[in-house]
Structure 1
Amino acid sequence: MNRRDAVRMALVAGVALATGAAAPKGKVNAASLVRPGDPIYGNPHGQVTIIDFYDIRCPPCRAMNKRIHKLIETDHDIRYVPVEYPILGPAGMLATRALYAARMQGGYRRMRALLMSQKPVPTPALMQQDATQLGLDWPKMEAAMAGPQVAAEIAANLARGRALGIHEIPAMYIGPVKVVGGLTSADLRSVVAQAMREQDGK
């Protein structure tokens, strides 16, 4: 998808969702998609919520992650909720399992920051190196990566995205606006402003 198509899609609120038994009906607001236990960055009570479905190994997702984090540093009325959606292959799935296992030791944010900036393809050896670097217990983490809790959490996220008809990433809900594809920093701010106006009824 090129930038022009992404922006066009981003600026249309309430894009129709793919049909499915579990698909929400009517216009979806990002705030309604937040689930207990989701990681939250920015203002937990922000006026506009950004739900971001991403794969750790997706370059456009990484670029959007940087832009969103820069935005929430200056706009303190945004709640950012990343949703791990590993659909690009085994490497992304491995990294996601490592991230969820790290979360069980309180290392989610540190591990996510590292994985989202790391260039080498994730391997078990690299995940062990990352865990050691972050001071995490690797044997516990390795066991958790293969355990049922991590598997269930990832499966729940994949089902969550499928119910919303998400087949491409990055895919975001910014307030009531669905965005498929990357945005420049300026376009991101424009969509956030649009979302705030719509939520204010203006």
Structure 2
Amino acid sequence: MTGDTAGSLKTGFWKRRISILGGTALLLGGVVLGAGTAWAAGQASPPANRAEIEAIVREYILSHPEIIPEAVARLEQAEARKVLASNRAAIETPFASAFAGNAKGDVKLVVFFDYACPYCRQGHADVQKLVREDANLMVIYRDFPVLSPASTEAALASLSAANQGRYNQFHAAMFDSPGRVSLARTLGIVKGVGLDEARTTADLSNAALKAEVDRNLALGRNLGLTGTPSYIVGNRILSGAVGFDRLKEAVAAARAEKGR
């Protein structure tokens, strides 16, 4: 990951965390203020003043510390829903042919990935299995090159492949072929999958494709993504190589929410 990219992603992440923690504080503050209308079981009368209310709430929190991560998790989900709602079209609209599965699927799974990421290689196999098993799933791929300059070169080559209508062939070959990501390896795969080598080489300097990569990085910052792979499905953000079962559960949950 380059210093500038890593720094901007971390800054976005911590801004989001601070916002969430601030919301948690407000939530607990609301508990304190609202406690005047209720009191501990068995207590003959409600607390008489703010100090008593705060003491009751403090004792409850210390006795049940699990409510803190639960409160943070709920606020994170609420924050994610707001960010996803405001960016839905940008997130779920594929670049050219950079998608797999059913283009009219009822659920969309968005994958933010880096070709240099070993966990993305594992995640690729999980996503491919999902596509084979779920005829109503659309997978949108978003290049998210954060690990090295070679990652960015590979991302630009993949966007060129999307424009040439051979995205899935290139994408699969990048993950299925052995070796570390490098320009030589990427161009070898370009040739191997039948892409126009001269066009792809020129596209490594294509301003429009670079702008698309920058848009993906900006989307990632807005969503609070800190690495790859990351998945967006419905109103959920999943981070890391979470595995086939968890991805399948998230797709099922998104489908159930749409059916309500």
Same fold (TM over 0.5): yes
Which of 150, 157, 166 is the matching residue for 1:91?
Answer: 150
Q: Offset at 1:27?
A: 5.7
Matched-pair contact (CA < 8 Å) for 2:99–2:168: no
In structure 2, the partner of 1:5 is none
In structure 1, the partner of 2:176 is 117
Say whether 1:176 aligns with 2:176.
no
Q: Offset at 1:67?
A: 1.0
Taking CA–CA contacts closer than 8 Å with sequence separation of 6 or more, which of the two structures ends up with the larger relative contact order? 1
TM-score normalized by the length of structure 2? 0.63
Mark the CA change 1:44 to 1:31 in structure 2 (over 3 Å): closer, same or farther.
farther
Say whether 1:146 aligns with 2:205.
yes
Mark the CA change 1:163 to 1:135 in structure 2 (over 3 Å): closer, same or farther.
same
Matched residues in 2 for 1:136 and 1:177: separation? 35
In structure 1, the partner of 2:77 is 15
Q: Offset at 1:104?
A: 3.1
Q: Offset at 1:85?
A: 0.5
Q: Offset at 1:55?
A: 0.9
Mark the CA change 1:13 to 1:27 in structure 2 (over 3 Å): closer, same or farther.
farther
Alignment root-mean-square deviation, CA? 2.7
Matched residues in 1 for 2:156 and 2:244: separation? 30
* Structure 2 unaligned blocks of 5 or more: 1-69
1:157-176 matched pairs, under 5 angstroms: 157-176=216-235
1:66-85 matched pairs, under 5 angstroms: 66-85=125-144
Matched residues in 1 for 2:128 and 2:195: separation? 25
Give identity over the alignment, percent: 27
Tell me which amino acid in the other structure corresponds to 2:77.
V
* Structure 1 unaligned blocks of 5 or more: 1-7, 19-23
Which of 95, 115, 119 is the matching residue for 1:37?
Answer: 95
TM-score normalized by the length of structure 1? 0.79
Matched-pair contact (CA < 8 Å) for 2:161–2:200: yes
Which of 95, 117, 122 is the matching residue for 1:58?
Answer: 117
Matched residues in 1 for 2:211 and 2:83: separation? 28
Report the 3-state secondary structure (helix = DSSP H, G, I; strand = E; otherwise coil) of the residue aligned with 1:81: strand
Mark the CA change 1:93 to 1:80 in structure 2 (over 3 Å): closer, same or farther.
same
Matched-pair contact (CA < 8 Å) for 2:121–2:175: yes
| Higher helix content, 1 or 2 | 2
Q: Which moved more, 1:97-106 or 1:49-58?
A: 97-106
Instruction: Output one character per residue of 1:89-134: Cα deviation in whole Å (capped at 9) or x when no partner.
Output: 2221121122122333332221111112223223332233222222
Matched residues in 1 for 2:133 and 2:224: separation? 32
Instruction: Output one character per residue of 1:60-113: Cα deviation in whole Å (capped at 9) or x when no partner.
Output: 222122111111211112111111101112221121122122333332221111
Report the 3-state secondary structure (helix = DSSP H, G, I; strand = E; otherwise coil) of the residue aligned with 1:186: helix
Matched residues in 2 for 1:94 and 1:31: separation? 27
Matched residues in 2 for 1:40 and 1:14: separation? 28
Q: Offset at 1:172?
A: 1.1
Matched residues in 1 for 2:238 and 2:75: separation? 9
The higher radius of gyration belongs to 2
In structure 2, the partner of 1:3 is none
